[in-house]
Amino acid sequence: MPEFSIDRGRLFAILDDGQAAAAQSRGLNDEYEALREALHKLETGDLISRQTSRHNESAPQTARRIAATKAQMQRLQDRRAEAAEVINPKLALARRAREYAAARGLAEEVRGYVA
Amino acid sequence: MSPKPLSKRLADLRAAIAAAQADLAALPGRPLPAAEAVARFNQWADSQAQAFDARRQAAALCQPRADTTFSDLLSLTARDIRPHLSAADAGPLVCWLMGDTIKKKMAAEIEGLDLSDALPAASRGAELRRLTLELERLEIAEEVLIRQLEAAGEHVRRRDEARIDIVLAPDAELAGDTAAAA
């Protein structure tokens, strides 16, 4: 079985692609977390206002905002699931490339990629 | 006739890779040919018959002071040889008594099996090497094709188990290997 050498151009293209995929994944996760936090605040605010006299004035508006945030979260969740189909294989390939290159004496060069 | 589009060729190659992987995975479980299995059994039956050691037992019976009884002679447990075994071992006695009959009956059983994918023991190493090389040739061809598709602007997802050394290999080395394999 022949032993192939490593094409560094290909290696770093794959690692960069993996890095970009990881960043995209982080971005989507951060966006989702922000929405989740916003929803939590809205729901907490709604709960508090139910116990005050202002509840009747603010209730419809808050309910609309909660519904809109939930819908946004659902859309984002769909986007995340869709993106995962592209992101995960790129990440997996980059990780395998990093490990292979590290084992072939390029540990320093590939350190920090798709960690 | 126009050549197949690259994407169709890729699908065909991947089907061939899956088939080669399945062949490789099935290799250790492929049965021996009937003749080889029969010879194997016959050899075992002969060794069992020999283990009975009838000659020694007959000689012992001829001794004026008999210390071998008939029940010892036909004992199935062989406790004197293997005291740790509680199960009866009928092999030596039965094979000594009717080895040829047992061999014929077992040969008939073996020949009744479906052994269409049988592979002789001596050919297994060569077959393993052939299948491994075939799989590698296909994986190299797949990677070359993916690079052609990428060069044409198409995004192609690599298989999860694609060999990373092939994925990272320089074009020239893959081309050389493909040419050598052709």
The pLDDT tens digits for A99-110 are: 999 999 999 999
Chain A partners of B173 at a C-beta cutoff of 8 Å? 2, 4-5
Q: Is the pTM of this model over 0.80?
A: no
Cβ of A79 under 8 Å from any chain B Cβ?
A: no
B132 to chain A: closest CA residue: A1
Q: Are B160 and A89 inside 8 Å of each other by CB?
A: yes
A93 has a pLDDT exceeding 50: yes
B177: nearest CB among A2, A7, A93: A2
Chain A partners of B165 at a C-beta cutoff of 8 Å? 3-4, 100
B177 to chain A: closest CA residue: A2
**CB under 8 A, 24+ apart: contacts of A1-6:** A1/B132, A1/B133, A1/B136, A2/B173, A2/B177, A3/B165, A4/B165, A4/B166, A4/B168, A4/B169, A4/B170, A4/B173, A4/B174, A5/B169, A5/B170, A5/B173, A6/A100, A6/A101, A6/A104, A6/A106, A6/B168, A6/B169
pLDDT tens track, chain B, 182 positions:
556 788 899 999 999 999 999 999 999 999 999 999 999 999 999 999 998 888 887 887 788 876 666 666 666 655 556 667 666 678 888 999 999 999 999 999 999 999 999 999 999 999 999 999 999 999 999 999 999 999 999 988 999 999 999 999 999 999 876 555 44
Q: Which residue did the predictor score with more confidence, A35 or B59?
A: A35
- How high is the pLDDT of residue B182? 45
